[in-house]
Chains A and B, each alone.
Chain A
Amino acid sequence: MTDLVIILMTSIGTLFILIASVGLIRMPDFFLRLSVTVKASTLGVGFVMGGTAIYFTEFSVTAKVMAIIFFLLITAPVSGHMIGRTAYFTGMRLWKGTILDELKDKYDRKTHVLTSDEEDGPDEQIIQNEL
């Protein structure tokens, strides 16, 4: 019974990792590759780690596995966001089928500061009220 659960969990995790690696090869754009990698790898490694925790029914192993899963869940979004931000700053071209780019012309390319539209910025309203 335990063996079946372990087989199921490691198979699901390996399937996720395999699909993510195929996506990493096949996707046409850096941002699409990033989205495939970060999500699927976290889930896949989490499933494989869960199978390990079920195999060794010890407290120390389960604590280590929980620490690894917790750490992966915390660090994957941070590093994914940071590297996507870097890619946008360095002028990575989007795929030609991309429909919407909401950050277009809102980042200053030299100083890396985010500026919003001038109509609904708070500074304009304050200046108008003072006048």
Chain B
Amino acid sequence: MLHNYLLFVILPLLSLAAILVFIRFLKGPYTIDRVVSLDFLINIGIGIIAVYSIVTDHSSFLDVAMILALIAFLGTIALSYYLEQRGKKQ
């Protein structure tokens, strides 16, 4: 029952959330909107990986989630630093 619930309710809802965020990623009027939505997309990916590791009963997937959390932070910091320095005139 738990596996069926996770597979047929939770994972589709998380996929719907990812699709909604991806619409904002495509639509976003400025670059910085895209940076935020990319960060949130990776967070949803971490949640999907966690639920998928319960469904398949493999706990090794959580290593990937940890690396993704690290990379999301570094990517957001790097992109925002780049965008800030671009508008700066000494």
Q: Mark A residues whose CB is within 8 Å of B.
A: 3, 6-7, 10-11, 13-14, 17-18, 20-22, 24-25, 30, 33-34, 37, 41-42, 44-45, 48-49, 51-52, 55-56, 58, 60-61, 64-65, 67-68, 71-72, 75, 78-79, 82-83, 85-87, 89-92, 110-112
Contact = CB atoms under 8 A, between A and B. Distances in A.
Contacts of A51: 50, 54
A89 B62 contact: no
A21 B1 CA distance: 27
Interface of B: 1-2, 5-6, 9-10, 13-14, 16-18, 20-21, 23-24, 30, 32-33, 35-37, 39-40, 43-44, 46-47, 50-51, 53-54, 59, 62-63, 65-66, 69-70, 72-73, 76-77, 80-81, 83-84, 87-90
| Max count, chain B CB within 10 A of own CB: residue among A30, A49, A67, A90 | A90
Given A34-B36, A37-B36, A45-B43, A89 B87 contact: yes
B47 A17 contact: yes
A100 to B, nearest CB: 22
Contacts of A48: 47, 50-51
Contacts, number: 148
Given A14-B13, A21-B17, A24-B20, 13 more contacts: A7-B5, A18-B13, A24-B36, A24-B40, A34-B36, A45-B46, A61-B62, A71-B70, A78-B77, A79-B39, A79-B80, A86-B32, A86-B81
